[in-house]
Amino acid sequence: MMKKNNLIFFVLIAMVSVYAVQLKAQTTNERSPYNWNNLPKIAEPKFRRDTFNIEKFGAVADGLTLNTVSINRAIATCSSKGGGVVLVPGGIWLTGPVEMKSNVNLHLERDAILLFTSDFDQYPLVEGTYEGRRSARNQSPIFGNDLQNIAITGRGVVDGNGDVWRMVGKDKLTEREWKAKKASGGLVSADDRIWFPSAKTKLAHEQRRGTAILPGQTLKDFEDIKDFLRPNLVVFNNCKKVLLEGVTFQNSPAWCLHPVMCEDLTVRNVFAKNPDYAQNGDGLDVESCRNVLIEGCTFDVGDDGICIKSGKDEEGRKRGKPTENVIVRNNIVYKGHGGFVVGSEMSGGARNIFVYDCSFMGTNIGLRFKTARGRGGVVENIFVKNIRMKDIVEDAILWDMYYFTKPPAAGEKTEVPEVTEATPRFRNFQLSDIVCNGAKRGIFIRGLPEMKVMGIELSNIVLKTDKGAEIIEASEISMKNVTLISKNAGPVVYVESGSNITLNGFKYASDAGLLFSINGEKNKNIRVVNARIPNSAGKVAFSNGANPAVLITD
């Protein structure tokens, strides 16, 4: 009997151990299979040397002749004969939508301009994806679905003619530009503040119409606002082995480059260029893609420069395809809402992303990670190093889980929602060797009460900014050799509802006033080591019930 009882006891222990392992797997990070010495591998397409010149298919480079049929015939013929190069020689080639085919490299010579027509009737309404949701769109100027082995290469220009699609506010233009815009045609709002390219765009704006296709709706329901449904310039859906190299993609009606659910994607040495007033004028939005290399590119756009996405809310979670195994290196981002961005449509998740040797100059935010309640999804295993930033408008480095939503005021008592599949997660970020010369704020971390931002390691960072760092609803935050040179007299570091925060080798300006402000009862274990923290009054402040014992200095 004793032996039987012992056996039952050990079986129960084993069962409990297995359950504990399963529970831990559900609540802890998924370890990345990659590291800096073992980066993801990206396969590139290869093409036959056979060349198909669009001129031989009837295309005319006079900037007047519509070459849609000729260019698409050249691409289809090339693909049907085993693939090769479709050559766009020097000249201005006016065209409607271009459909890519498998095994085709669309190659633009240096003096070639592929110019898309301003005739909206050339772009049929189609079902597409926009901001992570099933949406009605005009057909993208360049598109392809379910293809393999495709490329757009060369040194020429792809121009989406986006100005004819975009409404624009008077405050975004100079007086001379505003007069020219009104003289070009279109309509103006009653208060003379907004220019619309057409009556359909004006109607959509006034009625606050959206692009998402709701249950029971068809494309016919969007005909009355068709012109408002601006296309993304280049869209590839569910394609394998995709290469974009050397080409300038400019003046996109909405997003510039938008690969969706692609595998083995390479974007190399491209220039994405949009006016700074171009709403939704993102440079590159990589959505639910796997095995991605983005290198040597330049972005100067009206919204986010390089952005990682994976669908929005329930629709994105049902798709369940994260953007994963990504290398981003040797890129420059000028104007734009963010240099390197994840979110906010990241409901399918993002993981195993390596960003290094990049420069951001004049962007609104440098490194930007954004989400909100309802998104769900896990963003994890993000590794960043060797980033240079200059003249950043807002935050140098930002994590924010209240994107486009209103956070509670400091000390405000609010009901905390339960954690569900719609609760987003940010965890396991490692950032090192970052310099920023000029920004409104150096570091901003803001999680949710029910789901803190977890596991951020910051090391060897120098930020010269107006404000230092704000950490709200975050845990397991490590800062090693972080220098915050801030102009403002306010706290260099502000912490609210933070726990297990360590500053090792923390440095600040010699004339800094208040160093730390600890706000609220929920702070725990804030440790400062290898740093000079004066004992004089006015260097540390505690408010709203914060316990001075939570700040530990060694």
DSSP, residue by residue, 161-209: -GGGT--EEGGGS-HHHHHHHHHTSSEE-TTS-EEESSHHHHHHHHTT-
Q: What is the mean pLDDT of the chain?
A: 93
Q: What is the pLDDT at residue 3?
A: 46
> How many residues in total does the chain contain?
554
CB neighbours (10 Å) of residue 313?
18
For 153, the enclosing helix (H) or strand (E) is strand 148-154
Q: Which two tokens stand for residue 481?
A: 């050799």
Calpha distance 145→147 (Å, rounded): 6
Q: What is the pLDDT at residue 506?
A: 94
Residues catalogued as catalytic? 303, 337
Label residue 547 left, alpha or beta by phi (over 0 means left) and psi (-120 to 50 means alpha).
beta
Q: What is the pLDDT at residue 411?
A: 66
Tell me what percent of the residues of the chain surpass a pLDDT of 90.
88
Give the tens place of pLDDT for each residue, 25-38: 334 457 899 999 99
| 3-state SS assignment for residue 429 | strand
Residues 165 and 253: beta-carbon distance below 8 Å: yes
Q: Please report the DSSP string for 3-58 in residue order.
A: HHHHHHHHHHHHHHHHHHHHHHHHHSPPPPS-BTTB----------S-EEEGGGGT
For residue 68, is pLDDT > 60?
yes
For residue 10, is pLDDT > 80?
no
Give the tens place of pLDDT for each residue, 166-214: 999 999 999 999 999 999 999 999 999 999 999 999 999 999 999 999 9
Calpha distance 385→355 (Å, rounded): 7
For 183, the enclosing helix (H) or strand (E) is helix 175-183
Structure confidence at residue 11 as a pLDDT band (50, 70, 90): very low
For residue 388, is pLDDT > 90?
yes
Residues 274 and 300: beta-carbon distance below 8 Å: yes
CB neighbours (10 Å) of residue 533?
16
Q: Which two tokens stand for residue 424?
A: 């987003």
Structure confidence at residue 415 as a pLDDT band (50, 70, 90): confident
Q: What angle do CA 221, 223, 225 make, to 5 degrees?
A: 100
Q: What is the pLDDT at residue 554?
A: 79
| 3-state SS assignment for residue 547 | coil
Whole-model pTM?
Answer: 0.93
For residue 285, is pLDDT > 70?
yes
Q: Which residue has the higher pLDDT, 404 or 270?
A: 270
Backbone angles phi, psi at 159, to 5 degrees: -115, 115
Q: What is the pLDDT at residue 4?
A: 46
For residue 443, is pLDDT > 80?
yes
Calpha distance 480→416 (Å, rounded): 32
Give the tens place of pLDDT for each residue, 340-385: 999 999 999 999 999 999 999 999 999 999 999 999 999 999 999 9
